Structure 1
Amino acid sequence: MKKVYMLLICSWLIMACKKQVPIHFPEEASRPVLSLLMEKDSILVARLTRSARAVFANKFPQITDATIQLYEDGQFRENLTMFEKYEYVFYKSTVKVKAGSTYRLVAKIPGYGDLEGSDYIPAPVNVGELSVNPIPGSKGHQSGEIKARISVQIHDKGGERNYYRIRIYIPYYYKDPDGTLYTEKYPTSFTTGNPQDTWFDAKQRDQFFIEDALFDGGSPRFNLVIDRWNKVNEAIVEVTALTADSYKYLYSTAMAEEKNDDPLSEKVVVFNNIKNGYGIVGGMLQQLYSVKP
């Protein structure tokens, strides 16, 4: 009985010594997010939201009372116009961006400091030979699949840092009842046949990022292997020139989507170039090529 009594006293003393320590988390919901990826010869379409946990399908709190100013090569051009589509709010320009020009956005939001981000439209990629060929006797990841190799050559401009992204699509053509021909292009995943491409492993991915640190001024050829259920009669190769900022943002976003849900992987922080907030203003220039065997 005496032992039981002493245990009760010790338990009471331990409970009495507990101290509540408040933990203060940063209020991330108050940080605005400006997102814009610019493409040559296109108008600007920007998103302005507040950082928070998405309710569903990337539906973040939207900012609808802001003024977004556009500057081209340091000169004010216009205020972007807000519009809504499918319950999402966007801000768009009437100005179309040009290769070689630098564009800066300044978002003025009541109750916040000005957000600011800028980038430029890079020069087009000098694309060399393109080809698509079936791999004889090959088998894909699943029974019945066949493989094809798509080869993409790039002539890199020496003496400067250049950044690239490659994506592959399979086109489908169809006619509506009045005979009008339409084309739909569907993204397809691939692996690389180049052992030096350390970003790839046995996994299939739907985009390939590369910078020219290892081939400055050279003409590398990238071999991308796709699996299809039927013969590849045509592929559309998209080669995109990226700025340093858009490369870092898109690459880190791709890595975050792949690794951040994996408890065994180191978490990836998505690149940000917005002053007084989060997000990206990044430039790119896309080129599409139809390739047939």
Structure 2
Amino acid sequence: MRTTFVNELMKLAEKDERIVLITGDMGFSMFEKFKEKFPDRYYNAGIAEQNMVGMAAGLALRGKKPYVYSIIPFLIMRSYEQVRVDVCYHELDVKFIGSGGGVSYGHLGATHHATEDINLMRGLPNIEIIAPGDPYEAKNAVDKSYLNKKPTYIRLSKNKDPFLHKNLKDEDFEIGKAICMKKSGNIAIIATSNMLNQAVEVSNELDNLGIKNSLYSFHTIKPMDKETLDKIFKNYKYIVTMEEHNIIGGLYGAIMEEYGKGVINDYSIEKVLPIAINDKFSHHVGDQNNIRKYFGIDKDSVINKIKEILK
């Protein structure tokens, strides 16, 4: 997804000289072409993320369109006050591009994990949050968010993500509108960000087991697609949410805020199963798949949990 972001930003920058790219000493081997082609529109702010966001706010106030890139914990958490006060409070046209969603940087430990970022950003007024699940969604997140003038947070994983939407056109993507990838049975799987690929694998395996299911990609966390959610809650008995994020404040949290226990009782829902990281840090050393297994959000664990609620 990172390569997709850079490629799309290059195309946009060729058309719009207001676009500037600011990085916090990150993106080496990624931004060389941008720097070479637009040397006066590329800034390396160094390991000074608070200053980096302040720079972006100042540039936006002067009519520029800043794109700010770094690893998510450094981009969002280290500079949270500046994101809140300098950008969101003033509703500035700044795009935050965060790399390493969830436990993508697994072996680097909890300091580099991004498992609370959606929660943090959802609490800020005026900002949109897009969490692409594949390069198609990443491309369109960059292209479609360019058209608005709102603060926007785009949560990327790393690279080498497979294309999951092979038959969709760019015009099929809309910020704030979920994508129905398949529709069958009385189980709805709702996935976001870098859990979408695993959700596809889970869905296919359930089919092989004779358990029919539907699959939805909720690439936009804010604004939430309430229209599609309402249809899901009306038409399915079981709902499974899948995210590589703390169970608090992410996809599951956003849905349950809208459809709390009292509201769920008005529907025919028997169970909402959250697949997320329990409210804890990871002290487990390993790669992304290894840590997913540790937290019980890997493919096999998810399938077993779904089979359990169907008993």
TM-score, reference length from structure 2: 0.21
Q: Which has the higher contact order (CA 8 A, sep 6+)?
A: 1
Greater helix share, structure number: 2
TM-score, reference length from structure 1: 0.22
Q: Specify the structure having the higher radius of gyration (Cα).
A: 1
